A and B are shown apart, each in its own frame.
Chain A
């Protein structure tokens, strides 16, 4: 397997505080990697860094062998990395269909000329964007299609907003999908269903996935490999079983056993 994403000794500091410190990380093509860690461990900063929203202070990020350092977020997305956000950030006043249409922006090319003269290629591309959008929304069953297509995203329930956000990321046609807590706020039934869908994202759509998740059940079910972050450093990585029995990981989550501290 080839390495899709490689991260070398990556550090970021915010005013003297190390959000991430000498992080090494890699993702193989076709892998699903779970990233876990206690709150404030630097997980979201890690995603922000990959997607170009935060510039690292040192280290290197390579995607398909090319460095991403210094690229704008839109260039990173253009290279094939799409993400979701922990605190769901849809375009709330655009319709559901528009949300998935707009994220295909970087995969489409029609410019002002096509729009002004309504050329054949412009119409074809529009039809294509729309069809693709509907196809992607159909992945989540009937929840986001039909009469919903023309509704603004703000009327959706929390769980459906999460689904739509994943759909929006999928529509950007990435190779690597970064999911930030995809099942947060969902009930057990919903998260179980989404877990299956995440599996399908790889098997049917061919995405490589890095996922931050607090729900250990989900992490266990879909991850090939789990990486534990704490205080901006990698604490452990390996299979879910290895990691969950790792003494330092348990300590990071549950604290030091009382007797040791004495």
Chain B
């Protein structure tokens, strides 16, 4: 209840003024980009478009292109959302960012790669056996990621409970680094390819134009999310988790085993990350040891955008970040004449993080933190 409640009056210091400038510039760029985009949709040969594109006529986006981008955004976003749940829950309960959570996701994707290849050798990945194969893979991925997260908690985070805030954060950076390099050394540095998906998965649904695999990803994410929601809101363990997130001491006085609850939190978060891992495999069909880093940071962004500790918010944040990343470069930057926009999609999601933290640090859907973590 101190610095968190900041004065909301007019800017006073130079830094405040500078921040206003930054906000205005960022929002201005977004607004102009959007306007330019709308303009070039309506008239690709308008003066502004010609000016930004060095005299060339701008390209108009067609409806199928839109649809493709949106579906890509949502399916990737659903994956980010699943990872974000882990960040969000751990932050809610322990009050620190588990930086290594991206690595838990990567371990899931790696397990998926091993499982998929073994199943492919057995002839399960193609044809009619695909559905049981993918279910088996999802279960194994979730289990391995859960195990990773739980071991991580036991070895590295439990001994650090109660130490200054930055210590577990730094530790988690170390863990992330360690897991990444261990995976490189154990499985080799190169990219690992998943076996090719069955043909029907790569096709689009006739008439609707949505790729089946993206639909599958969205469905799996939705089912997992629903399961998690049921677990947290309806079961006794879930209630214990929420109680511990609110106030550890009081919860333990009420007879809740705090250690066990924290382990459960890591386990559930790990399972979600593991499922996200196999979704990554289905979408991109390739995984390397550094796969966890960028989705990890983006998922964290999603957690912040949705409001840390807020599970529905994490999922919504994931979808927003995924869509921003898919649509942002083409709808905001390309109309402004930026070249090679697809390289900048990562920069777009980082900028989104900064913008949200500047304008609404508690996230779009509100934080749910215990009072000690808010300070």
Contacts and interface: CB of A to CB of B under 8 A. Distances in A.
Contacts of B1: 48, 53-54
Contacts of A53: 1-3, 5
Contacts, number: 27
B7 interface: yes
A55 B5 contact: yes
Interface stretch (A32-40, A66-74, A154-162, A219-227): A66-74
Interface in B330-359: none
A52 interface: yes
A243 to B, nearest CB: 28
Contacts of B5: 53-55
A69 B2 contact: no
Interface residues of A, number: 11
Contacts of A72: 7, 12-13
Interface in B1-35: 1-3, 5-10, 12-13
Contacts of A71: 7, 12
Which of A52, A53, A69, A75 counts the most B-chain CB atoms under 10 A from its CB? A53
Nearest to A56: B7
A73 B1 CA distance: 13
A37 to B, nearest CB: 18
B3 A70 contact: no
Nearest to A75: B12
Nearest to A53: B2
B9 A69 contact: yes
A77 to B, nearest CB: 14
Contacts of A73: 3
B2 A70 contact: no
Interface of A: 48, 52-55, 69-73, 75
4 closest Cβ contacts across the A-B interface?
A: A70-B9, A55-B7, A70-B7, A53-B2
15 contacts: A48-B1, A53-B2, A53-B5, A54-B1, A54-B5, A55-B7, A69-B7, A69-B9, A70-B7, A70-B10, A71-B7, A72-B7, A72-B12, A73-B3, A75-B12
